Amino acid sequence: MEKTTGGEVVARMLQNEGVEKVFGIIDGTYIGLYAAFRKLGIELITPRHEACAMHMAGAYARLTGKLGVAIASNGPGVANVLPGVAVENGEGNRVLLITSTRRVGIGYPDRGGAYQYFNQVGVIKPMAKWSGAVPSFGRIPEMMKRAFRKSFHGRPGVVHVDIPESLFNGKDDMPALPTEPKAYRRVDPITPSADQVERAAAMLAEAKLPLIHAGSGVLYADAFGDLRRVAEALHAPVTTSWGGRGALPEQHDLAIPMPYVDLNDRVRNEADVVLALGSRLGETDWWGKAPNWAQAPEQRLIQVDIDEEILGLNKPAEMTILADAKVFLAALGGALEGRSGMPLAGRRAAVTRYAEAKGKERAKLDKVLKD
């Protein structure tokens, strides 16, 4: 049977997940991985610091919708990467961090006196979505599949796999590897029921002034066009979380730019039905609470997310929908098409008032920048 390095096993599994670029600094502890990258055509992009590798992988994931991958070497390299782990996990960016650790038999637990060794999984686990160590060559595929499942399940974040240098660089029999992600994880988007879509459409259509609040889940779902279609059908203003900026171009008539804080508060207090998409309604959204938002029963909330833990987390929702934002918006757009009887005159009047307020806010910012 063909012998191969553990690094090549990891690289082939990354290739099967569609990974084309990896961010990190070359180190001898995972030279087997780097050699496999060169063999398979995976590009290694090298920053000046390990934390930068995490931020580059996070930006890549957010901009492309693909899995961002970063690597860091044991000891000081992993210590350097920690600020990036905290930030990228907090921002909800889908990043897989692969680290080297000392050879099998030295760690987990530390035998004492190991060079540049610490419990890397123990340190990273509280900061990441998930962290695990590979104990043997034969379990590399199992642990990598587990990492991929964690990466693509629920809210995006940082997933970490720690692999001993003796496995990265040592050779053993090539294990049987899955060639497609569908063999070990869900690949189809989570779909709402037809009843959920119809109920949401009815609530939004009948609203005096509906509001759409878009989080980073809209960006990850690549739902830009679907969001715009629904917003224009409802003539509903759109606010965003910090991580959701760009979900609708801020020059659009219906967009309420995030920096206009007072106007955001005003819109969120005047809306009687809110559609929250891919957003935790967390601290930077004022937790969805007064005085920055209206409350029930004056304001009804429909919350859509791929992570069940987020539904109703910070603001009580009248309707929660576990679904991919793009799939949901596409179905909602279809349900709203041709629907009559919506009170559009009042919504248009409100959007006109908001446009005037946006002009005043922009003038104030221009004056400050000019001064």
**Fold match flag (3-183 vs 194-370):** yes
* Domain 194-370 sits in CATH 3.30.420.40: no
Give kind and range of the element (H or E) at residue 158: strand 158-164
- The count of C-alpha atoms lying within 13 angstroms of the C-alpha of 254, restricted to the half-sphere facing its C-beta, is 23
Question: What φ, ψ does residue 183 adopt, rounded to 5°?
Answer: -75, -15
Count Cβ atoms below 10 Å from residue 357 Cβ, excluding itself: 16
What are the start-end ranges of the E strands in 215-367?
238-240, 273-277, 300-305, 319-322
Contact assessment for residue 358 and residue 256, using Cβ atoms and an 8 Å cutoff: yes
Pick the CATH number of 3-183 from 3.40.1000.10, 3.40.30.10, 2.40.110.10, 3.40.50.970: 3.40.50.970
Higher pLDDT, 50 or 2: 50
> DSSP 3-state helix, strand, coil percentages of the chain (rounded to 5)?
45, 15, 35
Could you give the 3-state DSSP secondary structure of residue 44?
Answer: strand
Residue 232 makes CB contacts below 8 A (sequence gap 6+) with: 254
Positive or negative, the Cα torsion across 214, 217, 220, 226?
A: negative
Count Cβ atoms below 10 Å from residue 211 Cβ, excluding itself: 28
Could you give the 3-state DSSP secondary structure of residue 34?
Answer: helix
Give kind and range of the element (H or E) at residue 348: helix 344-370
Contact assessment for residue 186 and residue 22, using Cβ atoms and an 8 Å cutoff: no
Contact assessment for residue 158 and residue 97, using Cβ atoms and an 8 Å cutoff: yes
Domain boundaries, the chain: 3-183, 194-370
Contact assessment for residue 35 and residue 9, using Cβ atoms and an 8 Å cutoff: no
pLDDT tens digits for range 206-264 = 999 999 999 999 999 999 999 999 999 999 999 999 989 999 999 999 999 998 999 99
Count Cβ atoms below 10 Å from residue 259 Cβ, excluding itself: 11
Burial class of residue 328 (count of CB atoms within 10 Å of its CB; 0-12, 13-18, 19+): buried
pLDDT tens digits for range 84-108 = 999 999 999 999 999 999 887 776 7
pLDDT at 62 over 80: yes
Distance CA 355, CA 25 (A): 48
Strands 68-72 and 21-24: parallel
Residue 370 makes CB contacts below 8 A (sequence gap 6+) with: none
pLDDT tens digits for range 165-200 = 999 999 988 888 988 999 999 999 999 999 999 999
Residue in 166, 69, 77 with CA at minimum distance from that of residue 117: 77
Q: Which amino acid is located at 201 in the chain?
A: A
Mean model confidence pLDDT for the chain: 93
pLDDT tens digits for range 328-362 = 999 999 999 988 889 999 999 999 999 999 988 88
Question: What φ, ψ does residue 17 adopt, rounded to 5°?
Answer: -90, 5
Lowest mean pLDDT among 296-305, 316-325, 362-371: 362-371
Distance CA 285, CA 295 (A): 14
pLDDT at 1 over 70: no
pLDDT at 363 over 90: no
